[in-house]
Amino acid sequence: MKWSEIFTSSVGKKWIIALTGLFLITFLIVHAGLNACIWVNDGGTMFNAGAHFMGSTVVIRIVEVGLMLGFVLHIVQGIMLEIQNRRTRKIGYAVAMGNKGSKWYSRSMGLLGTLILIFLVIHLSHFWIPNRSNQGWLLGEEINLYERMKITFQELWVVIVYVVGCISLAWHLLHGFQSAFRTIGVTNKKYLKMLNALGTGFSIIVPFVFALMPISFYLGWIK
């Protein structure tokens, strides 16, 4: 494959989607871990200290630019691959395979990705955008993110949007996690079996932990 084909061939696109996907998975682990401090139930002291570290450290703010770039590349290449696949599918099979060929969520990565994107836009407008605009371009005063969460998650419709976002994330990861390793060339059956099990656990536990956050605030489990 030529360098120029990284963005245009379907193999190149799959590689970019896989590598950015794995990077985004590591982000999810850090994000869920830091957010889990809300359950210390100390009025947000520990969570806000962690959030302050993430929001006021220059190196992490530079990594944040990489994160946003990772999201953009993952989404753009995902959309392009989906369009390409739809075009070939039109020529495609005489008989639809349904669930025999693949799971429904493997065939619905575009739809699930779109739901996550809608969730992400709403989510960033709740916390990240107000926080960064309050801070100014670099390292000014941050907002109290814990208090902001408490207020945001008083509304049932917001909690529902977050839970639907997390369920979409779970289905998306259920295919994406193991698919990324196949794309980058893991072919060993034993390793693939292990990665499948790990991916299934990750795809259920991490979105479940995320979904529990707005629910915990809404139900008053944390003050």
The residue (of 12 and 213) whose beta carbon lies closer to ligand HEM is 213
Half-sphere exposure of 173 (CA within 13 A, CB side): 27
* Min dist. Cβ of residue 145 to ligand HEM (A): 4
Spatial contact of 78 and 20, defined as CB atoms under 8 Å apart? no
The residue (of 12 and 159) whose beta carbon lies closer to ligand HEM is 159
* Min dist. Cβ of residue 210 to ligand HEM (A): 4
The residue (of 6 and 209) whose beta carbon lies closer to ligand HEM is 209
Q: What does the binding site for ligand HEM look like in residue numbers (CB under 6 A)?
A: 31, 35, 51, 54-55, 64, 67, 116, 120, 123, 127-128, 131, 145, 149, 162, 166, 169, 210, 213-214
* Min dist. Cβ of residue 112 to ligand HEM (A): 11
* Min dist. Cβ of residue 141 to ligand HEM (A): 13
Dmax of the chain from CA atoms? 61
* Min dist. Cβ of residue 172 to ligand HEM (A): 9
* Min dist. Cβ of residue 67 to ligand HEM (A): 5
Tokens 């245009």 appear where? 8
The residue (of 12 and 174) whose beta carbon lies closer to ligand HEM is 174
Provide the 3-class DSSP secondary structure of residue 138. coil
Please say whether the dihedral angle defined by the alpha carbons of residues 61, 212, 25 and 152, taken in this order, is positive or negative: negative
The residue (of 12 and 145) whose beta carbon lies closer to ligand HEM is 145
Q: How far is CA 82 from the centre of its chain?
A: 18
Spatial contact of 57 and 147, defined as CB atoms under 8 Å apart? no
The residue (of 8 and 57) whose beta carbon lies closer to ligand HEM is 57
Burial letters for 189-215: b for 16+ Cβ neighbours within 10 Å, e otherwise?
eeeeeebeeebeebbeebbebbbbbbe
- Between CA 86 and CA 94 the distance in angstroms is 15
